[in-house]
Structure 1
Amino acid sequence: MKTLFATALLLASWAQAQTLQPQGAEIVFVSKQMGVPVEGRFKSFKLDRFSFDPKKPEAAQMALTVQMKSAGVGTPEVDAELVKPEWFDVARHPEARFVASQVKAVGAGRYEVQGQFSLKGQTRPLALQLALTQAGGSSTASGSFTLKRSEWQIGSGEWADTSIVANEVLVRFKFPFSGMAPL
């Protein structure tokens, strides 16, 4: 019962002002190259809109824009490849964008978010799982989803072979917020 009460208090706090804290915010992508996980990050993104009332999750508003040129794995040669047409084609498609259209509760502090995801000139439906947690005076929205890079023409040409770079790419995100009432 205590957990249910704590979750209710946490969710109630999301109806208050929500201010994204850049420190600790992250969007990470993990792919496998020849079976070895390779982790990268998008260093520049903006949560354009995030409003959430736990009493009405269906009224939530979420929109995120990612600057694709900010992608990097920490290796200069690979980072230089990611902006090229075979990968993210940053010159023609500088941003990726997700706009939520439906949010529904699936458990204590957990939600399924559906919306439209735009990447490399294509827009498609995308569903992701979102968890809301609180520690101290801050709250965090985190979750993940998996993309198949071949469906988005990411890693085309000589990189299309999924035995070299796996087709599935895990994308994880974490957005800490302040301005929440402590539990």
Structure 2
Amino acid sequence: MNSILRNTVLTFLIASFFVITAFTSIHNGEPTKATNWKIDAAHSSVSFEITHFFTPISGKFHEYSSEIYFDPDNLTESSISVDIQVNSVDTDKKKRDGHLQSPDFFNAEKYPTMTFKSNKITSKGDNTFIAHGKLTIKDTTTDFKLPFTLLGIRDNPMRENTRVAGIKSDFTLNRTDYGVGVGDWAATAVVGDEVDVSLALELNSSKK
């Protein structure tokens, strides 16, 4: 084999190797470059507010989990998945919490988890983003756009080799779109239909 042909073959093999490697890293089903973040539950909250007649009533969910891969410079491989346990609802009134978990509202025994799973994340500029995906509450799944703001990313001075980030999200849901409130409770004269939701998440990741 002459030198020109040998060099051509070698160049082809090297190029093929890099193409195959790149293709595999993108399509193996796992985010390979976006940072994997874990929620610091002690410094995070999932809260909501809804009206009862005219008065706003607030509450929160204490138990939730997530799988977050996020890099503002690599949105292609970024994704957000959040699961919220319905029976962890807390409005500071046990009787009301029990009613919310009952078949009149969330029916937590039959539908214990609310979920959001993104299929893409886009940037709106100024550290604001939209996670496009599916939101499931009870037996209803809808297309949903989850807006969020990246509050910042920095080295965590309290934990060696760890980075910390903050994310804030505020949005409004219509409970009747998801069948939360049936029978007499489907009406909005007593319990309002719009629910203001706020997510404040402190995230940690290991430095590579």
TM range (shorter): 0.7 to 0.9
Higher share in helix: 2
Contact 1:86 1:156 survives alignment (8 Å): yes
Q: Which stretch of structure 1 is more off in the superposition, 57-66 or 86-95?
A: 57-66
The amino acid of 1:87's aligned partner reads F
Measure how far apart 1:84 and its partner are. Answer: 0.5
Measure how far apart 1:155 and its partner are. Answer: 1.6
Measure how far apart 1:132 and its partner are. Answer: 0.7
Measure how far apart 1:92 and its partner are. Answer: 0.7
Counterpart residue number, 2:184 = 158
2:175 pairs with one of 132, 149, 153: 149
The answer to which structure, 1 or 2, has the higher relative contact order (CA under 8 A, 6+ apart) is 1
CA distance in 2, matches of 1:17, 1:28: 24
Measure how far apart 1:19 and its partner are. Answer: 2.9
1:42 pairs with one of 51, 56, 61: 61
Cα 1:98–1:177 change in 2 (3 A) is: same
1:112 aligns with 2:138: no
User: Could you say what secondary structure the match of 1:23 adopts?
Assistant: helix
Counterpart residue number, 1:174 = 200
1:18 pairs with one of 17, 30, 37: 37
TM-score (norm 2): 0.75
Measure how far apart 1:37 and its partner are. Answer: 0.7
Give the 4+ runs in structure 1 shifted more than 4 A. Answer: 14-17
TM-score (norm 1): 0.84
Counterpart residue number, 1:63 = 81
Percent of matched pairs sharing the same residue = 21
Q: List gaps (5 residues or longer) in structure 1.
A: 1-13
Cα 1:147–1:16 change in 2 (3 A) is: closer
CA distance in 2, matches of 1:139, 1:46: 16
Measure how far apart 1:180 and its partner are. Answer: 7.5
Counterpart residue number, 2:47 = 28
**Greater Rg over alpha carbons, structure:** 2
The amino acid of 2:58's aligned partner reads E
CA distance in 2, matches of 1:135, 1:123: 32
Q: Between Structure 1 and Structure 2, how many residues are aligned?
A: 167
Measure how far apart 1:15 and its partner are. Answer: 4.7
Measure how far apart 1:17 and its partner are. Answer: 4.8
CA distance in 2, matches of 1:160, 1:111: 33
- Superposition CA RMSD, Å: 1.8
Contact 1:127 1:145 survives alignment (8 Å): no
